[in-house]
Structures are given as structure tokens and as C-alpha cells.
Structure 1
């Protein structure tokens, strides 16, 4: 259940948002949406994989956090255990709202039913507005992240069109035998096909570079080096509980 509202300095003057990490706060997910403009920051921490939207041909990118539904191997007793937090998680419980036709300016919305909304009367969490109704530094930072994510999402259509044009995505299946003998697997994902990428002629590579697509492609390829560390996290989680 959600309860979206346009963020308002009067109606939400005393609202506080929890910023700690926890499965009960919306972080218990095995993958987080990411966008090409964010790949450089994501690739040093998480594998970047691609999936199709259910029942559609369109792809989207995710930062892989675990191997099972609801499993986030970067959540621990001490909180968030990674040097970066994907924007799609970092902005919760905020989102960008627009009119259905997309003509109106973007507005900051908030999900008042989200578990990150601090209970009334609690001091926990960050205030959104100060006593004068002005945005706090926390809210200004959230607005910047929202803008980055929204712009990246809107620009991603051209990126995925380029991947389709050059047939650069290929199915990816992973099966790993863990230290305890159990099998961990991933299905239904795609990755950038390195052989197809290397086979691009100079003209095609030049067009991808001019359009700004080549760098995020390389970042997605480089991110696959994070699969082994993710498996190591899985082994430690099973060993240590």
C-alpha cells in the first residue's frame, strides 16, 4: 500500500525520514534499479545486469545485491555494508511526479505510507524542513539525487535502443556451488556480450561514443568482476549466519 503526496513545506513541516538501513525499511531486495548515467559509480561495488520488463521487450538495468528474492547481502548488523548506495534506494521514500502527459514540471512526491516515515513524535530520522519551512540540507541532497535518477531514466531509452540496434545484450545464467555444497543460481538476466562488443567496427563504436553510450557499456562489462565478491558475501552469510 502506498500513499503518494506532493511534498509540501506546510503539510510536512515536522515530517522526519529514517535514513538507517534495514530490510524492514525497504532495503530487503536482491536488485536495485540503476541507470546508465550511474553505472560508473555502481560498477565498483555491484554487478550490473539487465532484465526485461514483465511482458515487454524493453530492458532495464539493475545493481545485483543478492541471489534470492528479498536477499540483500549488503545489509548487515551494522547497517549498509558498501561504499555506495544505488540512487533508487537512496531516494526512498521520495519519487518524482509528473502529469500523465509529461508536460508539467517535475515535482517531488513522498510516499507517506513508506516504512521510512518516522512515527509521529519520534526524534529519529532527518527533518525535511527547518522551523522556517525551508528545505534542510538532507532534503536538498535528496532533491539532487532525484534529479539525477530522473534524468538518467529519461536518457536511458536511447541507451537501450543502441544496445538493441547492435544486438549487444545476451542471456546470462549463473550457477555457483557454495562452500556448503548448495547451489546458487541466477536466471532471466542479460549482460553485455563482450564478443559482440569487440566485433563492432570503428564506425559503430564511434557512433556509440559520440552518443555517450560507450562508457556505460564498458562500466557494465567491468562490473561483472563484482560477481565473485558477491558470491564470497553469500558464503560468509551462510557460514556466519
Structure 2
């Protein structure tokens, strides 16, 4: 289980981060957050869907990396099989949050991460207690991600208001003839997209959202890659096919 602590030179000057162990951390995420700015690149690797944030207050984009919680088929034996690692993974084992009391942004480190060590890897602080170049780079990635998350939330809210987000269920058909229905995901409402006015299409194109929508639609073919990787990693639960149906909930 992750154990996050507020990062400080006094408490964490002796720990190091072994980046080669980060893929082991990735193995626990079957859905990986993708930001708007990453969509085109991520669509060449993963099937992309819309999903609600944990508090259900806003929409996010998720890469489907596994067919069950805590299963990521793009990680195997500590190796990341994807050619691209999303921002949400590259910032690990760090996250940023706003302190409720001071309203200041603070950085937390997962001290239980497999990448955290005291022997090998990148140090976080100099003897002067200033951040190392490695930690500075992680901080920049966190700042980039926070800005990207804010942009994504605003833009996906616009898509939702235009009726372009459509809830779907995944129907996983296993080779033993059993089925499993998975909910909580959404994709592009193609019928609504086809019926957009010229002005609406121009607005989406101007904001760079039209390309995002087509990338998400095209990424659906990456489901075949997920099936292949799943069957290699979990041969005892081999999958024949995955279908999509309009959500009944």
C-alpha cells in the first residue's frame, strides 16, 4: 500500500529513487490518467476512455492498461512494454497536493514505493539541503501535470456540455465462455459528433479538441493489443474478445 509523506530535506535526505524500479509501481494501475496534451501520443499505445474523477466532480481521460483492478498488462517482470509513459506515471513516486490549512502546494513521496531506496538511485537533496537536479526535474514534471490536469478538466467539461461523452460498458468474453461486464467508462458520442454544426466543429478544431476526439475514437483498436498482452500475462484467464455496449446505468 502507498504511504505518502510530505517531502522534506530533514526527513528524506537519506533516501534515493531507483528509476529502474518504477515500472513495478506501474503494475498496480489498470486505468492510467492521460491529459489532453498527451492524447494523440497515448492513442498510439493504449485504448483511451473518459472516466469520472474519484470524487465524480469532473471528467478525466484514462488509458485502459488492464482488465481488472491492480493489473497492468503493459508491465511485466519490472519492464514497461509501452513506448510511452504518461505524465501521471513519470511523476511517481511523487504527487502534489494543496495543504488544506495553508492552501500552499506541497510535494509528497510514497516511501513504500519499490523505487524508494537508501542504497541505489538518485539522491533528492544536496548536503546544503537544496534539491538535486533530479528532484528539480520531478518538481517541474509535477507542475506540468497540475497545469495539464486543470486544462483537461476544463476542456472535458466543454465536451460533456456539448453531449459528446457517451457512457459505455465493456463486455469481456473469456475463452472459457464466461462473460464479464465492466462499467464506469465512456467514449465519444459518434452520433452527436456527426451532427455537430459547422460553427461547433470550427470551435472544437480551434481549441484542438477535434483532434482529441478522433484520437480517442481511433485508439479503440488498441484494445486488441491489451487482449494480446493480457493473454500473455494471465493465460489462465485468456480473453477472446471485448465488446462495447451503451451503458444501462
Q: TM-score, normalised by structure 2?
A: 0.80
Which residue is equivalent to 1:153?
149
Which residue is equivalent to 2:183?
187
The 8 Å contact of residues 66 and 72 in structure 2, kept in 1 or not, is answered as yes
Which residue is equivalent to 2:136?
140
The 8 Å contact of residues 209 and 215 in structure 1, kept in 2 or not, is answered as yes
Which residue is equivalent to 1:67?
67
- Classify 1:207/1:110 alpha carbon distance in 2 versus 1 (closer, same or farther; 3 Å): same
More strand by share: 2
- Classify 1:166/1:42 alpha carbon distance in 2 versus 1 (closer, same or farther; 3 Å): same
1:177 to 141, 150, 173: 173
Q: Is residue 2:77 matched to residue 1:77?
A: yes
Which residue is equivalent to 1:40?
40
Residue 152 of structure 1, CA deviation: 0.8
Q: Is residue 2:27 matched to residue 1:31?
A: no
Q: Distance in 1 between the 2:207 and 2:198 partners?
A: 14
4+ runs deviating over 6 angstroms: none
Task: For residues 145-187 of structure 1, give each alpha carbon's deviation from its aligned partner in whole angstroms, at most 9, with x where no partner exists.
Answer: 2122101111123212211221001121222434454435432
Q: TM-score, normalised by structure 1?
A: 0.83
Which residue is equivalent to 2:5?
4
- SS of the equivalent of 1:71 reads coil
Residue 116 of structure 1, CA deviation: 3.9
Moved more, 221-230 or 91-100: 91-100
Q: What RMSD over aligned residues (CA atoms) do the two structures have, in Å? A: 2.8
Task: For residues 6-63 of structure 1, give each alpha carbon's deviation from its aligned partner in whole angstroms, at most 9, with x where no partner exists.
Answer: x33454333212321455x363121112221221221111111112245635322211
- SS of the equivalent of 2:56 reads coil
Task: For residues 99-140 of structure 1, give each alpha carbon's deviation from its aligned partner in whole angstroms, at most 9, with x where no partner exists.
Answer: 449964x44x12353324634xx3223222345545444323
Q: Distance in 2 between the 1:102 and 1:152 partners?
A: 23
The count of residues paired between Structure 1 and Structure 2 equals: 235
- Classify 1:145/1:55 alpha carbon distance in 2 versus 1 (closer, same or farther; 3 Å): closer
- Classify 1:136/1:113 alpha carbon distance in 2 versus 1 (closer, same or farther; 3 Å): closer
Q: Distance in 1 between the 2:157 and 2:217 partners?
A: 18
- Classify 1:43/1:216 alpha carbon distance in 2 versus 1 (closer, same or farther; 3 Å): same
Residue 4 of structure 1, CA deviation: 2.7
Moved more, 225-234 or 132-141: 132-141
- SS of the equivalent of 1:164 reads helix
- Classify 1:233/1:3 alpha carbon distance in 2 versus 1 (closer, same or farther; 3 Å): closer
- Classify 1:207/1:189 alpha carbon distance in 2 versus 1 (closer, same or farther; 3 Å): same
- SS of the equivalent of 2:45 reads coil
Q: Which blocks of at least 5 consecutive residues in structure 1 are unaligned?
A: none
